[in-house]
């Protein structure tokens, strides 16, 4: 079984990426990683199981203010467009990686690998195409308005935010290599870089879901696979998320210190 982690980051997240790779090499040494480094041509990462690509792009609108779609504490933040591009590129690359690996895991650069993914039992279950965390209940009220604001650069008439937006958490998902996932991520690859925006990964994942929902088996990633809430979900977790304020928490820093 060949598992590859799809990473991408800009200069701001290189320190997190290197730590994440340390945890990957320590806890899942037989897994592979594909890394797309944006606008940092001098960055050097060497490992037999890691393939590195350097992508250079020019962005004219370097910093914008965005509203976070899930964090109740960190409601707004200034972000760079190189970071937005990095978020999209690791999802863009999934399609090509599906031709080389049995499973591709989309990984945020600030995620920490806690356990060997080869021991994740659900990978042996054939009844899924994509494993991803999501919310079952429809969004409404302020949460729905926030989601619409996140997608204000896109045509939301093409997705059903009121009824079928599952609020997928794209920071970590697992894709099985088969014909339907190749078609799903080819559709995403053909569209996701046409307009560089924050949350374009969320938007085009939903657009692909609208197109392929009658054929694709999207199953819920177990809550103990990715610990988004570091206070309550770490027990047994394979991955600790660095999303939002997590990376500034004492728990996250303690986990990283184990690999110094």
Q: Does the pLDDT at position 74 exceed 70?
A: no
Strands of the sheet containing 112-113, edge to edge, are 112-113, 239-240, 226-227
Q: What pTM value is reported for the model? A: 0.90
The position carrying tokens 């660095």 is: 242
Closest CA to 156 of 140, 142, 144, 168: 144
Q: How far is CA 240 from the centre of its chain?
A: 13
The position carrying tokens 């090509």 is: 96
Q: 23: pLDDT confidence band, cut at 50, 70 and 90?
A: very high
What values do phi and psi take at 77, rounded to 5? Answer: -160, 150
Q: Does the pLDDT at position 205 exceed 90?
A: yes
Q: 64: pLDDT confidence band, cut at 50, 70 and 90?
A: low
Report the chain's C-alpha Rg in angstroms: 17
User: What domains can you pick out in the chain, each with its CATH number?
Assistant: 3-257 (3.90.550.10)
The β-bridge partners of 52 are 35
User: How confident is the model over 106-127, as pLDDT tens digits?
Assistant: 999 999 999 999 999 888 776 8
* Alpha-helix residue ranges (DSSP H) falling in the chain: 14-27, 81-92, 94-97, 141-150, 179-191, 200-212, 250-257
Q: 34: pLDDT confidence band, cut at 50, 70 and 90?
A: very high
The position carrying tokens 């590195």 is: 52
Contact of 243 with 110, CB cutoff 8 Å? yes
Q: 105: pLDDT confidence band, cut at 50, 70 and 90?
A: very high
Q: 62: pLDDT confidence band, cut at 50, 70 and 90?
A: low
CA dist., res. 182 & res. 22, Å (int): 29
138 in helix, strand or coil? coil
């Amino acid at each position: 079984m060949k598992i590859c982690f799809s990473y991408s980051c800009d200069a701001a997240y290189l320190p997190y990426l290197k730590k994440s790779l340390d945890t990957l090499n320590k806890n899942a040494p037989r897994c592979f990683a594909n890394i797309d480094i944006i606008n940092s041509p001098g960055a050097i990462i060497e490992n037999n199981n890691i393939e590195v690509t350097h992508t250079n792009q020019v962005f004219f609108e370097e910093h914008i203010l965005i509203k976070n779609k899930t964090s109740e504490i960190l409601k707004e933040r200034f972000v760079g467009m190189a970071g937005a591009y990095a978020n999209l590129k690791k999802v863009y690359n999934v399609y090509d990686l599906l031709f080389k690996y049995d499973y591709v895991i989309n990984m945020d650069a600030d995620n920490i690998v806690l356990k060997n993914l080869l021991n994740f039992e659900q990978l042996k279950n054939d009844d899924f195409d994509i494993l991803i965390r999501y919310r079952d209940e429809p969004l409404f009220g302020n949460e729905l308005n926030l989601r619409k604001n996140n997608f204000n650069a896109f045509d939301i008439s093409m997705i059903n935010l009121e009824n079928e937006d599952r609020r997928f958490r794209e920071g970590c998902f697992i894709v099985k290599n088969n014909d339907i996932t190749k078609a799903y991520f080819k559709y995403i690859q053909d569209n996701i870089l046409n307009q560089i925006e924050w949350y374009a990964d969320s938007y085009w994942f939903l657009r692909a879901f609208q197109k392929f929902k009658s054929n694709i088996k999207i199953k819920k990633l177990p809550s103990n696979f990715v610990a988004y809430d570091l206070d309550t979900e770490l027990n047994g977790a394979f991955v600790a998320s660095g999303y939002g304020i997590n990376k500034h928490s004492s728990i996250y820093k303690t986990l990283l210190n184990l690999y110094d």
